[in-house]
Structure 1
Amino acid sequence: MLNGSAAQKPISAIIILAGLGLGAPVFLTGTGCDGKKTKSPALLLNVNFGGAPKTGKAAVGLSAQDYWNNHAPLPWKALSGAARLKYANGEATTIGFTVDNAGGAWGNKSGDPMYDTYIYPNNGQGDGVGQVTVTLTNLPAGEYDFFLYGHADAGGRPESNSTFSLKSGAREFGPAGTLTSNGWKATQPWEEGKQYVRFRGVRVAEGAEVVITVAGGTNGKPSKGVAVINGFQVARAGLLSGSLR
């Protein structure tokens, strides 16, 4: 095992940013087609693989109370999944996902609960053999940024730095890999391209699936290493601009 494992009126909108990063929720307010004021939470979705409970921010976040959907696949089972995920503010959704070829789980020692657990292939194909596939369903139509975390500290095997690819409709992103970060601690800053990769401007059509493929990598390059994924975040594009950090 791995060690470390057709509208009546135009819609106008105002983004309320006061208190960002200090625990206050982020809301979009505006006038809908019926002339009534509407309010909905800014979309941020967090998923943590491996089982250790996680709350709060990672590379991005709204507050120290951000909700994470924690998912631990059954050991040696090739296929698992979850439905009715919750946004970072705790609101329930119809969003779900499946994970294929990730029946193993192990950990790191960074001090961050999400980064300290990961899943990897360990089922009928063999221990550490093959790619991991995450398929996200029922994500509302729109444009998103994806933050993908993939790292396993050295232990029984060499350090693993995953290589990610993403597909939404006909558009493909990646591959892009994480860099060597053995010994990284949660007290240090998150760095794009080191602990995680970011795919920007991913457009999702109504009813379309988003497929994330995780392959083995070493220091940002594809390799025969083991594919691991610690977790991921999905944020509505345009709401970031540094404000969720």
Structure 2
Amino acid sequence: MIYDLLPLSLIDDPGHLAATIFTSGCRLRCPFCHNAALQKKQPPRTSVAAILRFLRERQGVLESVAITGGEPLLWPDMESFMRSVRALGYRIKLDTSGDVPDRLERLLRLGLIDYVAMDVKDEKARYGLYAPDSKTAERVHRSMALLASLAPAYELRTTVVPNLHLQDEQIVRAVYWAYRAAGASIDRWALQVYRPSPGVMDVDRSGHAATPPPRLRELARAVEETGLVKEVVLRV
């Protein structure tokens, strides 16, 4: 469900002036989640009507609407909301865990999403650390395939957590998993720094120190050496 609106962001859809929409509710339980309060459904701080009114007022100023969570695709009214946003002429960028492939497929086939950023938490065998449902990895696998075949543009991204991603091979195996799912090279893989903050779900498990930039660069080289990713980007 809709939770809140950030009127202006320069980072949520890089290269575009965006408003960011937050939804609440997520089936994953990632210990490093920086929006832990949104894992459960929360009373909305705003309404769809108020958001659409704001977007009408900002036509010609803002370019994009970035939708994040929580897991946005759990919201049953997402298609209707995206149609309304698209009717106002906005670009739409979606953040997702890949946990709701059926809804992702429908929205992609309808042409309602311009860019998808999908989190890949870890290699497939370790998804039980992040998701109580044993079927989550299968749904993520299907979403990877959908992005490769249907998305106008996309990236896969991994937040590198010092206490959880101890070996280069974990990320490399995640890349091979995505490659097998996609049946082709991955367009872009983003490696993101982890930073402890008051909003993190379980800082004791994730770590009390941020990811050192040299660690990201080391992993980037490992990903590049697979030859399976067209572009590797670092977000520090």
Is the pair's TM-score, using the shorter chain for normalization, greater than 0.5?
no
Q: Which has the higher strand share?
A: 1
TM-score (norm: length of structure 1): 0.28
Q: Which has the higher helix share?
A: 2
TM-score (norm: length of structure 2): 0.29
Compare CA radii of gyration and give the structure with the larger one: 1
